[in-house]
Amino acid sequence: MDLPIRCNSIALYAVKGRGRAARHLLVRRAGKRLRGHWEPIAGKIEKGETAWQAALRELLEETGLAARELYSADTLEAFYAPRADLIDLTPVFVARVDEAARVRLSKEHDAFAWLTAAQAEEKLIFSEQRRILRHVEALFVRKKPKEILNIPID
């Protein structure tokens, strides 16, 4: 039997600053599912919106932040969901936010932190998230992102 594939959510890695001064945003879950775990922004794609629109909406809803720039991270988060017995594929985005912007958490989270890539990697429990964080750091922080990955949000 083939395993079903589900693709109904997004992951967004928010970054402020550039180079060595860059910091990655992680939020700590407050709900029943994965309570106390640190993660990037994540959420479901709602009916009628694109994945990138869902990423912008989730960033605003979960943190009060607006993206200044948005990029396709050119990768997918992939994992096996044992309860549903399926493979979950999640498009990943990178958002640049203003350095002075202030985070206002939703009820889904009880803490946030702006961290270096090394600090953020220590907090993430899933290897796939750590892989993506390293990818984001290498291609969107240490280098200028490729223009083809830019998603116009004006």
Q: Per-domain residue ranges for the chain?
A: 5-143
What local confidence, expressed as pLDDT, does residue 62 receive?
95
HEC string of the chain equals CCCCEECCEEEEEEEECCHHHCEEEEEEECCCCCCCCEECEEEECCCCCCHHHHHHHHHHHHHCCCCCEEEEEEEEEEEEECCCCEEEEEEEEEEECCCCCCCCCCCCEEEEEEECHHHHHHHECCHHHHHHHHHHHHHHHCCCCCHHHECCCC
pLDDT digits (tens, 9 = 90+) for 92-149: 999 999 999 899 999 989 999 999 999 999 999 999 999 999 999 999 999 999 999 9
Confidence (pTM)? 0.94
What local confidence, expressed as pLDDT, does residue 19 receive?
86
| Cβ atoms of residues 132 and 90 within 8 Å | no
pLDDT digits (tens, 9 = 90+) for 70-88: 999 999 999 999 999 999 9
What local confidence, expressed as pLDDT, does residue 34 receive?
73
- Tokens (6 digits) for 90: 């999640």
pLDDT digits (tens, 9 = 90+) for 51-69: 999 999 999 999 999 999 9
- The matching CATH number, chosen from 3.40.50.150, 1.25.40.10, 3.40.50.300, 3.90.79.10, for 5-143 is 3.90.79.10
Q: pLDDT band for position 35 (50/70/90)? A: confident
